[in-house]
Amino acid sequence: MSEQPSTARRVVIVTGGSRGIGRESAERLAADGHTVVVNYAGNRTEAEAAVAAITEAGGTAMAFRADVADEVAVSALFDAAEEAFGGVDVLVHAAGVMSVTPLVDTELDALDRMHRTNIRGTFVVDQQAARRLRSGGAIINFSSSVLGLSFPGYTAYAASKGAVEAMTLILARELRGRDITVNAVAPGPTATALFLDGKDEETVSKLAAQPPLERLGRPEDIAEVVSFLAGPARWVNGQVLRANGGII
């Protein structure tokens, strides 16, 4: 392993970093002074736009395409980060897919797609991170507050995120002695394109009224939690942080 850098400036891989919470997290981490590798699955234009926004603001970033469920591609992602910046200190695994349908109506193809990206993808990316992160590093996975809310229609998605939480809590203990923290962020309803897609105004208004703060989360709210876990939060480990405005 390379020499541990200061936590003031780290090399961070953000999967799903071209859009939504992933992009907001990438830009926040770059603003914090970290070097960022923006991973994307297919939308090169948006990934390059994220990198351009970071560099125009004075940060350092690069984009790299990799399917998070493909172990060869993910290994190449870590290789590229190490070759460009000397090592990797933080993984923010924000890539994920969601399909909202009652269990009885869920197509098995949709279930398999969520399983591949959300479960296998987390396993593959975390495996590389566990092997290659430098001492003092951090792994930040993404779960969801729907596990506690038990919203109808989210059976398959919530099940996939339950697996993410299990992996997070166990990996934190498997990395004993490495000085690497492993946590998960579980957002509540957050105003991203992924969340808003297919919801009418009445549904969105009802969800926004549920937290005591009486609004939807914003991507920057979640990025703030990611920033905390990626930098100063060295005594927070093996936890799921439910960033949901107090909805549960």
Helices then strands (H, E): number in the chain? 10, 7
| Residue 4 pLDDT | 47
E strand or H helix at 109: helix 108-114
The answer to whether residues 77 and 64 touch, using CB atoms and an 8 Å cutoff, is yes
Gyration radius from the chain CA atoms: 17
| Residue 5 pLDDT | 46
- C-alpha 243/C-alpha 224 separation (Å) is 10
Burial of 148 (0-12, 13-18, 19+ CB in 10 A): middle
What is the mean pLDDT of each successive set of 10 residues along the chain, which is 248 residues long? 58 96 97 98 95 97 98 98 98 94 95 97 98 97 92 94 98 98 94 76 85 90 97 95 89
| Residue 109 pLDDT | 96
Out of 3.10.180.10, 3.40.50.970, 3.40.50.720, 3.40.50.261, the CATH code matching 11-189+218-241 is 3.40.50.720
Residues listed for the chain: 248
Closest by alpha carbon to 237, among 187, 185, 180?
180
Tell me whether residue 40 is one of the annotated catalytic residues. Answer: no
Single pTM value for the model? 0.93
- C-alpha 92/C-alpha 228 separation (Å) is 12
| Number of Cβ within a 10 Å radius of residue 123 | 16
| Residue 29 pLDDT | 98
Which residues have C-beta within 8 Å of that of residue 6, sequence separation ≥ 6? Answer: none
Residue spans of the domains in the chain: they are 11-189+218-241
Q: Which of 77, 157, 161, 216 does the annotation list as catalytic?
A: 157
Q: What is the 3-state secondary structure (H, E, C) of 172-208?
A: HHHCCCCCCEEEEECCCCECCHHHHCCCCHHHHHHHH
AA letter at 168: T
